[in-house]
Amino acid sequence: MIDSAIPQFVSEELSQDHSGHNHQHAERVVANARKIMVEEGGDEKIILTAAWLHDCIDKKLFSDLAGQLDKINTLLKRLHYNEKEVEEVLYIIQNISYNGGENRPLSTLNAQIVRDADRLDAIGAIGIIRTIEYGASKGRSFYGTENIKKEKGKCGWNQPSDTSLSHFYEKLLKLESLMHTKSAKSLARQRTAFLETFLQQFYDELG
């Protein structure tokens, strides 16, 4: 059972976010982690704590990462997490990020489950919404003429650009192959199929 102080802390830390990394995102990652644990096992306390806290040290959201780590360390010790538990939670939240395509190896099943749970929320219908939200928060267009190709009356993706559409190809469509656990791979296949359907419909409407 996770102490209510943890989701409350997350709600306060992420209250100003409008980029798809808010409290609702954390709730969904926790829910995804629970689904994966049913099949894969793992330490529930560690996994759910890290799932709640994983974006509270995201460099896209916070400039003072050392200060955020101190806050989390203080919170967990106040809630009587022992040194080993604090160490593992901090290890997970500092190492699961995608980081521009880097797929850093993870040493524990707990960390793999949290990473898979977070990545599942980046794909499917929710992933599409979050991609658009994040792009809008950065002032990005969804697509530009430079990354749309037209051939024989059909449209498709042409080349990388600073648009939300490029994000589908540079990250989202790759996530299924990067899942660690069998159960997450199965969930990711369903969500990736939805991304592919969305993109095809988008291009059909453009064409």
pTM of the complete model: 0.93
What pLDDT is recorded for position 101? 61
What pLDDT is recorded for position 102? 66
pLDDT in tens, 137-194: 889 999 998 888 888 778 889 888 899 999 999 999 999 999 999 999 999 999 999 9
What percentage of the chain carries pLDDT values higher than 90?
Answer: 71
pLDDT in tens, 62-93: 778 888 899 999 999 999 999 999 999 999 99
pLDDT in tens, 104-149: 889 899 999 999 999 999 999 999 999 999 999 889 999 998 888 8
Residue 35 in tokens: 């689904």
pLDDT in tens, 24-49: 999 999 999 999 999 999 999 999 99
